[in-house]
Amino acid sequence: MKRLHLLAHAKLNLVLRVVGRREDGYHLLQSLFCAIDLADEIELAAIPRGIELEASPELGPPEGNLAYRAAQALLGADGPGVRIVLRKRIPVGAGLGGGSSDAAAVLAGLNLLYRLGKSQAELMQLGARLGADVPFFLGRSPAWVEGIGERLTPVALPVPFVFLVAVPPFACPTAEVYRMYDVLGIPPSPTGPPPHVPPFPNDLWPATVALRPELREFRRRLEALPSRGVGMTGSGSALFAAFSSWEEAAAAREALPLPPGARAFVAAPVGAGYKFPG
């Protein structure tokens, strides 16, 4: 039986601007995406027919999982099958892109496992139909992402050496955050080129903290550390602080007071959304 092992990396939004809204309701963004080495582990095994997913029951039914849907979209009803083993390391509902990253890794992995010959552009086009963030994880990092996620430009901007990623003990559903953004009537930001970081501006912060006011105190704890700056990724709930060395980030991890159920990770930037280990 043919098998393939992959790592599906998380991402941070080092910059997130909401620059408008389409007639269909989708918000238009400009965002600096950076993949980090916090990763889910995925194993793909060839089977004659069908799609099987082994994952934590907390992730819900297999048919709703983006990794399952990615395999379904690429292989089709008449194609070969795959057994997917998904070991989650990326917190869910935290703005770290774990579901989209899993989908991208499955697309790339199946393309290799079955020698389907799909180009990166073809995989990105398919990924965009699964979720707005999926195309990023099929390309290079960091990248300047525009529109609803369909326009990507790899950039050579310097990014911090390492991050401390702090995840509170609650999720922030993306749809609810954007709904609150609209309720608050926040004017769109002007468009512009990718900025240097830090600072790490995120236009969704007022909406996220309006939904979860306790996130404000969580952020204050991070801001009390001697970092290069603090930001929020995606629509939350994860926050991050930037550092110039592993030693500084590790010391900050030890010094950070975490509420019950919260987690913190030290993670470094990587150059792509997925990886074939070894």
Q: Is the same domain home to 98 and 65?
A: yes
51-59 average pLDDT score: 94
Whether residues 130 and 194 fall in one domain: no
* Residue of higher predicted confidence among 240 and 59: 240
The answer to whether residue 277 sits within a structural domain is: no
Are residues 152 and 166 located together in one domain of the fold?
no
Name the nearest CA neighbour of 186 among 15, 21, 13.
21
pLDDT of 1 higher than 80: no
pLDDT of amino acid 47 = 95
In the predicted structure, residue 183 carries a pLDDT above the cut 70: yes
Residue 278: per-residue pLDDT:
63
Residue 119 included in any domain: yes
Rg, the chain, Cα only: 18
Domain check: are 126 and 48 in the same one? Answer: yes
Residue 36 has pLDDT above 90, yes or no: yes
CA nearest neighbour of 222 among 160, 171, 163, 269:
163
Residue 273 lies in a domain: no
Task: Report yes or no: 99 and 68 within 8 Å, Cβ to Cβ.
Answer: no
Residues 17, 140, single domain; the answer is yes
- Picking from 110, 144, 141, 113, the residue whose alpha carbon sits closest to that of residue 126 is 110
Look at residue 24 and give its three-state secondary structure. Answer: coil
Q: Is residue 100, in this structure, part of any structural domain at all?
A: yes
182 is catalytic: no
For tokens 């995120």, what's the residue? 202
Q: Is residue 276 part of a domain?
A: no
Exposed, middle or buried, 260 (CB in 10 Å: 0-12/13-18/19+)?
Answer: exposed
| 133 labelled catalytic | yes
The two structure tokens encoding residue 90: 């990326």
Q: Is residue 43 part of a domain?
A: yes
Q: Are residues 177 and 262 in the same domain?
A: yes
> Are 151 and 176 within one domain?
no
Mean pLDDT of 82-107: 97
146 and 218 together in one domain: no
Residue 217 structural domain: 162-267
Strands 81-87 and 51-54: parallel
The total number of structural domains in the chain stands at 2
Q: 148 in a domain, yes or no?
A: yes
Q: Encode pLDDT of 131-151 as tens digits.
A: 999 999 999 999 999 998 889
Set 11, 40, 203, 275: catalytic member: 11
For residue 101, give both structure tokens. Answer: 């990253």
Same domain, 92 and 215: no
* CATH code of the domain in which 9 resides: 3.30.230.10
Same domain, 126 and 173: no
User: In terms of domains, do 119 and 51 share one?
Assistant: yes
Question: Two tokens at 40?
Answer: 């889910």
pLDDT by residue (tens digit) across 244-261? 999 999 999 999 999 999
110-138 pLDDT tens trace: 999 999 999 999 999 999 999 999 999 99
d(CA 226, CA 240): 13
**What CATH number should be reported for the domain holding residue 198?**
3.30.70.890
pLDDT of 169 strictly over 60: yes
Q: What is the model's pTM?
A: 0.95
Does 262 lie in the same domain as 172?
Answer: yes
* DSSP string of 130-146, one letter each residue: H-TTHHHHTSBSSEEEE
Question: Which of the following is catalytic: 118, 133, 203, 275?
Answer: 133
As a whole number, mean pLDDT of residues 228-236 equals 97
